């Protein structure tokens, strides 16, 4: 059945599979020491416009969040995040598993706000007994957020300034970065992100790869002996080439951005369709995830034609569903959705 359940319902973008095929028999050293990892890093540096960043590849989002946060926090520190942040709610305690607390602050459309952050920090440091509490040691944001929303450049600048003042790295979870960068509603570039964040990752899994996220350290701040820390967290792939070849393909001929653009284009058409059929959005999203309010009856009808994610129950009679698009969304998918909605 046609599915809008997520942006990871299909395999890899065909161009990526093709490259895996073409390079398959080349003998290469393991653990990311192959030429494709090297080449992918160079291409990503070009895409960012910075030679001095450090790049590492990991396999998935939860893993990347846990590895980055636990290797960059000091023992006595936790990570500040929106109450709706992925690490707060949907990682099954992966951050706590590493021994660190997630310090929640309010969310506004999935985003945190520099003022709330300042307020939180001032309260913390103003408390005489704050050394009996977890120190805020990093700020986590996702862009796009879990609700598909995006930070403006100005918002990022403000958060970044607070982080600098309090000497906390700013970490951006870019699991869906490709869709964020290609949104028509954004003024944030990859170069902006590299400037304003201390570490971020360029999501592959949800943007065309079979698996893989590219972590970018922007301030010469890659944790020492990072490979060893990755390995002891069970996150080091023997065939690192699997990530190298994929990211090399994603950053050849703008593929990563083309995928983002296409996903956004399909999302815009979904939005138009949803609006046309009189459904309400739970939240305005400029990216590839659309959150739509439906009644139970509408939900049943839709589910007869297409698969969707039931996000949460809004009230006794209404639900929020998520419709996600990606590189793999087809005209036929849209047509099925139209039938489902009509």
Pairing between β-strand 309-313 and β-strand 318-324 as defined by DSSP bridges: antiparallel
Q: How many residues bind a second copy (CB under 8 A)?
A: 86
The reply on whether position 332 binds a second copy by CB under 8 A is: no
Distance, in Å, from the CA atom of 315 to the CA atom of 313, rounded to the nearest integer, reads 6
Residue 256 token pair: 């990563």
CA 162 to chain centre: 22
Contact 155, 116 (CB under 8 A): no
Output phi, psi for 313, to 5 deg.
Answer: -85, 125
- Report the nearest approach of a second copy to the CB of residue 123 (Å): 8
CB-nearer residue toward a second copy: 134 or 157 = 134
Site track 83-122 with a second copy (rule: CB under 8 A), x = hit:
------xxxxxx-xxxxxxx--------------------
Of 170, 164, 174, the residue nearest 144 (C-alpha): 174
Burial pattern 290-306, b for ≥16 Cβ within 10 A else e, equals: bbbbbeeebbeebeebb
Residues in 178-217 that interact with a second copy by CB under 8 A: 205-206, 210-211
- Report the nearest approach of a second copy to the CB of residue 9 (Å): 4
- Identify the residue among 239, 276, 300, 304 touching a second copy (CB under 8 A): 239
- Report the nearest approach of a second copy to the CB of residue 197 (Å): 21
- Identify the residue among 115, 185, 191, 227 touching a second copy (CB under 8 A): 227
Range in contact with a second copy (rule: CB under 8 A) among 40-48, 226-234, 264-272, 334-342: 226-234
CB-nearer residue toward a second copy: 17 or 118 = 17
- Report the nearest approach of a second copy to the CB of residue 308 (Å): 12
**Terminal C-alpha separation, the chain:** 18
Distance, in Å, from the CA atom of 175 to the CA atom of 142, rounded to the nearest integer, reads 8
Distance, in Å, from the CA atom of 124 to the CA atom of 134, rounded to the nearest integer, reads 9
Residues in 23-82 that interact with a second copy by CB under 8 A: 23-31, 59-67, 70-71, 74-76, 78
The residues pairing with 280 across neighbouring beta strands, listed in sequence order, are: 293
Residue 254 token pair: 């703008």
- Report the nearest approach of a second copy to the CB of residue 313 (Å): 7
- Report the nearest approach of a second copy to the CB of residue 57 (Å): 13
- Identify the residue among 108, 231, 276, 335 touching a second copy (CB under 8 A): 231
ω into 144 cis (within 30 of 0):
yes
CB-nearer residue toward a second copy: 59 or 105 = 59
- Report the nearest approach of a second copy to the CB of residue 224 (Å): 7
């Amino acid at each position: 059945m046609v599915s809008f359940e997520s942006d990871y319902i299909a395999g890899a973008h065909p161009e990526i599979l093709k490259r895996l095929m073409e390079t398959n028999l080349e003998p290469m050293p393991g653990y990311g020491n192959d030429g494709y990892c090297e080449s992918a890093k160079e291409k990503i540096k070009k895409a960012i416009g910075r030679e001095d960043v450090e790049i590492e590849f990991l396999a998935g989002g939860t893993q990347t969040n846990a590895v980055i946060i636990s290797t960059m926090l000091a023992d006595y520190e936790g990570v500040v995040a929106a109450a709706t942040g992925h690490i707060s709610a949907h990682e099954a305690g992966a951050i706590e598993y590493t021994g660190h607390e997630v310090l929640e602050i309010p969310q506004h459309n999935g985003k945190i706000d520099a003022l709330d952050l300042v307020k939180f920090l001032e309260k913390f440091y103003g408390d005489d007994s704050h050394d009996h509490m977890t120190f805020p040691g990093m700020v986590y944001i996702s862009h796009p957020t879990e609700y598909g929303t995006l930070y403006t450049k100005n918002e990022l600048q403000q958060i970044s300034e607070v982080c600098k003042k309090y000497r906390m790295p700013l970490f951006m979870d870019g699991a869906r970065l490709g869709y964020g960068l290609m949104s028509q509603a954004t003024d944030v570039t990859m170069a902006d992100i590299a400037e304003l964040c201390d570490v971020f990752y360029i999501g592959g899994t949800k943007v065309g790869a079979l698996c893989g996220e590219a972590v970018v350290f922007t301030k010469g701040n890659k944790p020492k002996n990072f490979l060893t820390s990755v390995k002891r967290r069970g996150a080091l792939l023997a065939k690192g080439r699997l990530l190298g070849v994929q990211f090399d393909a994603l950053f050849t001929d703008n593929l990563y951005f083309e995928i983002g653009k296409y996903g956004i284009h399909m999302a815009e058409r979904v939005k138009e369709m949803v609006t046309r059929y009189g459904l309400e959005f739970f939240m305005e999203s400029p990216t590839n995830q659309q959150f739509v309010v439906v009644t139970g009856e509408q939900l049943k009808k839709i589910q007869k034609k297409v698969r969707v994610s039931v996000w949460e129950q809004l009230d006794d009679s209404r639900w929020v569903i998520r419709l996600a698009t990606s590189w793999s969304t087809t005209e036929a998918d849209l047509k099925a959705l139209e039938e489902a909605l009509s």
